[in-house]
Amino acid sequence: MGQLLTPRRVLIVDDNCDAADMVGALLEACGCAIMVAYGGQQALAIADEFRPDVIFLDINMPGMDGYQAATALRQRASGSTARIVALTAMNDAASRATMAAVGFDGHLAKPASLESLIGATR
């Protein structure tokens, strides 16, 4: 595929391991540095070390959901300036309003196209 975008550090957070790994593999093939977390708590630990530019964050996860993870990330140096994009099956107006209220910068409905994923990293 080659490098399709400016190299970015991207963190993908999803409790569906296959989905997270697939998004990671696609973006890595496009030139991004990738880390994957399979839950909110793991995302916080990885973000502190990795310092991502962009975070793709699922909402419906056990334990710490995406709303809680986004709120916690925004309170940390590692997530305060990152672009946080919801990557979720939740696509109703109320959910999108909650995402915006807790600090998400964008929203992509699953399944997201490669073009929309790349666009969200810019």
Average pLDDT over every residue of 3-13:
78
Sole residue written with tokens 């979720």? 88
What is the token pair recorded at 45? Answer: 């630990």
pLDDT of residue 122: 81
pLDDT for the residue numbered 80: 83
CATH tag, 9-120: 3.40.50.2300
Per-residue confidence band for 1, with pLDDT thresholds at 50, 70 and 90: very low
For tokens 């093939």, the residue is 29
> 0.75 exceeded by the pTM?
yes
Q: Dump the DSSP string for 49-111.
A: HH--SEEEE-S--SSS-HHHHHHHHHTSHHHHSSEEEEEES--SHHHHHHHHHHT--EEEESS
| Ranges of each domain in the chain | 9-120
Phi, psi of 5 (to 5 degrees): -150, 165
Residue 62 pLDDT greater than 80, yes or no: yes
